[in-house]
Each structure stands twice: as structure tokens, then as C-alpha cells.
Amino acid sequence: MARGIAPRRPAKTGRHERAKISSLGKPSKTTGPTGPSQAGGLRPSAARKGYNPLASERVREILARLDQLYPEATCALTHRSAWELLVATILSAQSTDANVNRMTPDLFRKYPTVADFAALTPEQLEPDVRSTGFFRNKSKSVVGAAKMIVSEYCGQVPDDMGRLLTLPGVARKTANVVLGTWFRKANGVVVDTHVTRISRRLELTKNTDAPKIEQDLIKVIPQDKWILFAHQIIWHGRKLCIARRPKCVDCPLENICHAADKTWSTVEIHKGAKA
């Protein structure tokens, strides 16, 4: 955990402590909340008075705490080129990055170039990617993308959203991963299951559809943070804000999070903040 951020612990009585709030909706100095600053919770009686989950001050506070927690967050998929990242991202759907990283070294040794993949049939690739699940569809996507890159783009992975979306198996999430991680282009925000879940818990969106969530995040997150924000949220989803039982007691964002499925809270729970 980042230096200077100490997790809050439950009271010995077993009861959840409640932060005392000033008239501005910030914890008073007597509560001593942890974290980079004291922006956060609201009393039950003040929960809907002046509370705006999308307020610029609150969004800046979320970003500041994520920066302290994960200052160097980046894509967890192992890759050495735009093509390897594209393949790994396609294979990671409905799988884990750890699982993909276990099998891609052998895959890329066996087929070192885009042209090697383009020379295959999907059926030939299937045994090599079986462990990632949905291997038939993924094989079709990878081989189809390779063939198009060789025939349409001179063997080079396109570096713009429009052309990336023409490739088989590539939707905005995959395109944003490649553009942001490899080309350092902030065309959008990567929205995976972690980003979906945590953005809803933090009340940055009420949508469940990835394209709509992305548009909501684009409106409130500064563009120069789009790439890093997604990586930080993904890391946060793996380390603390896990799906079934989030580790709220250890989370430095706890006192600015009102999620309905929190496991421990010092602030009011909002029923609409659902993962």
C-alpha cells in the first residue's frame, strides 16, 4: 500500500463508526479520516442535500487517491509489440490476464509474426488458445485480424480507432487497450468488468452497458487521465474492490464511497450505488 495511506479499522465494539460532517459536507477534524484529504461522506440526514457524485472536487479526490495507490499502474498483459498486445487482449475476454500471460509466450514463440498468424486457419490455432476459453471464436478473431492487418494495413497494427474497429474481434475495449497502452493515445476509457463494477460503486455512472459507461466516464475524467485511470481502476478491482466481498476496511477510498454492497462503512450507503 502506498506510503502515507493507512487503512481504517473497525471499532472494537463492532459498530461502524460514522464520520462527523461539517456544514460543507466534509468530515470534521475530530474524525481524523485517512487518505490524501478529508473530502467524503455525508450524514444520513444530508445524504441528498447538495451531494453530487460527479462534482469536480469529488472526482479530483478519487483520482488523487488512485494516484497515491497506483502511481505506475499499466496493462498487466505481457506483450512486446502492438500485435502481441492486440492478440493478448482478444484472448483475455472471459479469461484472466494471468491465464493469458501463461500461454502467450509459447504462442508467440510458435508464431513470431503477424504473417505467421495470417497463414493459419482458425482450426489450426484452436489448440494453442484452448485454455483461454471460447477458443473457437477467439481463434477466428485472431486469425481474421492477422489476415486483415497483412492485406489491408501492410502488416502493421493500425494506430487509430476507426481502423482498429474494422478488425475481427476488436470492439472499443480492445481498441482502447491497444491505443492507450502501446500507442499512448487517449481516444477513450477502457471499460472492462472491473471498471464497470467500480465506476458504478463510486457513482460515476448508473449505466450497465460498456459504451454508455465509457461516455459517462469521458465526461467527468480529464482526458489526460483516461489511460491511467482505467489501469488504476483495474488494479484496484483486483487488489481491494473485488466483486463479491470488497475489502472496504483496507480501502483508502472508503470514506468517499457510498456503494450499496460495501462490507464496512463510515458513511451513508446509497441504494443506487450498485455494482
Q: Which among 192, 219, 224, 250 is annotated as catalytic?
A: 192
Q: Which residues 6+ apart lie within 8 Å of 154 measured at CB?
A: none
**Which backbone phi and psi does 21 adopt, to 5 degrees?**
-115, 140
- CA 170 to CA 260: how far, in whole Å? 33
192 is catalytic: yes
3-state secondary structure at position 11: coil
274 is catalytic: no
To 5 degrees, how large is the angle CA 250–CA 255–CA 256?
120
Q: Which residues 6+ apart lie within 8 Å of 233 measured at CB?
A: 66, 194, 195, 198, 199
Residue 147 amino acid letter: K
Q: Which among 26, 173, 216, 262 is annotated as catalytic?
A: 173
Residues recognised as catalytic:
173, 192
